[in-house]
A and B are shown apart, each in its own frame.
Chain A
């Protein structure tokens, strides 16, 4: 029996972080992902905040791993060339009771090991965020923002460079134990054998656990809707702005968050829903988001909205209980070799690398981990033309004239960058794969200018048939075929 065979189910932030961490060692790692690309689920549908860890119950895994994750995130992003900005964050108090809550939040945060938390008055709030209402608030200087797509992509590509294998469009349908090893079957009928199965399946991790013979977990989908506002508004909202926490069903309240691309997002709502994959936005919640955003930010103008999306929190706490239950991260005593990671909701993105190290420790107890010679720590992503100086831009165009052809006018993405995205090492050619790598189609025209140009490249330069072009994974075909 070869204990070095490992299957990771799910290529979200957790699965990718585990793959990257384990790729340091002499192990045979295979990641199985049902979507056509990384970050297809929860990991790509959140606020993209690197949390400081003051919201979580002292002594919980959530608190410990979040604080640890926050402190290591900047270094990790440097290693992997992922956008990261330590913006700090403000929690706004609207009344005396909120201030009381914030005092308690500071105390809790300090017990968790958060640094620099302090209360501020109206004047200082106004200095930080001139457009924001409220009587005062709390500042968290260690809170940061990142790009969750590029984070997952960098983790996965680095793991790939270090020998991990990724299988996309590989939905796990069955797991059984045979002669001491797991046999994991995917939708296409393919089977994979491994002594360890690491369940990083996010919203579906309860079902994966059940397939592997561990029943009793149940996840409750809790949807959060968001609005995306136009680029440039991060000048007005330079750091995440949250309302002071109030008792509720387990979100952090509707907040305003700048993104590393310069947009601002509004959300999320928190609503328990029956289905695990219903990513709809609803009129009622949209109205509520707009009203709450307006309360927090009186100058907010609806005209700045360029899109919306929804994400789903995989909650262990049922609706009647609300709030948070702690992460489950453990090897199942009744099913040795199965490592379950269940209920990894916020702050899962922040905590992903400490979670991966916990998984490594668990594996290390079962098998000797031998460090790989020649492990590559660093990863570099393709350049982003618009972030460069004019001198650097001119030099790039000289090297490759395709840097001189702008395909996405809103985000100033060049043809060469689209090509780099299309030629990603995972072979994902969906529009979303190009979108998250090159950041095309994400602007105010929603792809009105660049979509046809990208489609043209896919058809004429990559010989993809029109009816084969998908938005995301198979089943999301964009077109019915040729006109004639």
Chain B
């Protein structure tokens, strides 16, 4: 049986950083197991920008962030095994004994021993089934993450007229994304009195596109026998139940649920790791160690986090602590304040939410004095000045990949047969789409035309991340460069 010092389950931002952390702490052997064919986890479908402000001091899209994280992990010389799904962990007893991990992959069942394990298994979405929305069960009800995957990776459009329940970040981001792809987002409905997600997403995903948000409202009924026809929206009373007589119907062919994330810990449970029964998150000590000695947890599997950057930081620490645990040296505690620091809910009236860094300062402009207040630094004032006069945004979207290159799956298969499992993030994303963004932010009002212009663009592989793919009208009489945010193999 193969044996490693540290074995990491899941190669999303947490797992990739854990590998780097374990390497930096001097582990002799590290194995990173990923069930998907590519690394990066959910980042691959998060083609929008807003990642990397903390960790890299740059505004990156999800795929770009995933690529950097992979490069860092690769530089540290770890072993990576993709396409392997961990089904069971047998916890060893006592600190000398190793844990045994069983995983299933295309070459069969593998059993691997590890001195310490970092669980970076991420989260799943809360579903319609879990929140019991009354009404029929027609086709056309999806969770936001599923829609994000369909639209950004699989080239599948869920519908033309969309209602979104829940103002979590993924839901708001998909409101903007679907608008840019030509759908009409009729409403975002939120049961809480304030939006649940980050203020910057309320500004840049809803306000930018005049998408109405109804807070203290819910979807009280789903209508449509075979296919979704409409949803009934009701105002909520103080008791949290719909108020009779306040309901109205919105015709739609897709309902998207963004109603929360749940830590995904089926693998942890097989090892006897204790979970918080309320949140389903892993219970850890301040050093991110679970009740099972030598098993650590990080990222969304432990507690849902707002920023991938913090997930990476935590993963890195979990990887380090796994090594210090093996050496029976002192571990470092996680600073819980790092988990969430960004402004959420409605941006206060008359302010702009600065997106220059994750703090999300609410900057106010005083008409009389011409002074900006609320900004933590000079960049905030600059951002707010521009927001008042000529707001700019990154355009993040996709372009089609030429039909001829649809044989990628075969290529992936042959690489796997050759025992080469190191497939870069994005290399075998479905044959359809390549994520792209504008190289620089462009005027807000130019976003829709620019996205539209890209609908006819097709790229031929190979493409490197950062390659210029196309030029689009920038709304100021010039052209804006559109660059690839992922790699596309031959």
Name A's B-contacting residues (CB within 8 A).
227-228, 277-283, 286, 303, 305-309, 390, 393-394, 397-398, 401-402, 404-406, 409, 412, 444-449, 451-452, 455-456, 459-460, 466, 470-473, 475-484
Say yes or no: A455 contacts B154, CB within 8 Å.
yes
Binds A, one of B120-128, B340-348, B371-379, B471-479: B120-128
CB distance from B306 to the nearest CB of A (A): 20
Chain A CB within 10 A, most for which of B128, B146, B156, B227: B156
A280 to B228, CA, bound (A): 12
Q: Using known A-B contacts A455-B154, A479-B159, determine if residue A484 contacts B146 with beta carbons closer than 8 Å.
A: no
Say yes or no: B134 contacts A280, CB within 8 Å.
yes
Say yes or no: B109 contacts A393, CB within 8 Å.
yes
Q: In terms of DSSP, what is the predominant structure of the interface of chain B? A: mixed
A145 to B134, CA, bound (A): 28
> What are 27 sample pairs from A and B whose C-beta atoms fall under 8 A apart?
A278-B136, A282-B134, A306-B130, A307-B128, A393-B109, A397-B104, A397-B108, A405-B106, A409-B35, A444-B129, A445-B127, A446-B128, A446-B129, A447-B146, A448-B125, A452-B146, A452-B149, A455-B150, A466-B157, A473-B226, A476-B138, A476-B139, A478-B139, A480-B253, A481-B157, A483-B156, A483-B433
Say yes or no: A480 contacts B157, CB within 8 Å.
yes
Which residue of the partner chain, among B135, B139, B160, B431, contacts A470 with CB atoms under 8 Å? B139
Residues of A within 8 A of B129 (CB): 228, 305-308, 444, 446
Residues of B within 8 A of A448 (CB): 124-125, 127, 143, 145-146
Q: Any chain A CB within 8 A of the CB of B155?
A: yes
A242 to B351, CA, bound (A): 59
Name B's A-contacting residues (CB within 8 A).
35, 83, 85, 87, 102, 104-109, 124-125, 127-130, 132, 134-140, 143, 145-146, 149-151, 153-160, 181, 220-221, 225-227, 242, 253-254, 266, 398-400, 406, 409, 430-433, 455
Contacts A446-B127, A480-B254 aside, 4 further interface pairs with beta carbons under 8 A come to: A303-B130, A393-B104, A404-B83, A444-B129
CB distance from B162 to the nearest CB of A (A): 10
Q: In terms of DSSP, what is the predominant structure of the interface of chain A? A: mixed
Say yes or no: A477 contacts B139, CB within 8 Å.
yes
A290 to chain B: closest residue by CB: B132
B138 to chain A: closest residue by CB: A476
Which residue of the partner chain, among B124, B150, B154, B398, contacts A449 with CB atoms under 8 Å? B124
CB distance from A4 to the nearest CB of B (A): 36
Residues of A within 8 A of B455 (CB): 484
Say yes or no: A445 contacts B124, CB within 8 Å.
yes
Say yes or no: A452 contacts B153, CB within 8 Å.
yes
Residues of B within 8 A of A309 (CB): 137
Chain A CB within 10 A, most for which of B127, B139, B143: B139
Say yes or no: B220 contacts A283, CB within 8 Å.
yes
A404 to B159, CA, bound (A): 33
Q: Using known A-B contacts A459-B154, A479-B159, A482-B157, determine if residue A397 contacts B139 with beta carbons closer than 8 Å.
A: no
A302 to chain B: closest residue by CB: B132
B133 to chain A: closest residue by CB: A281
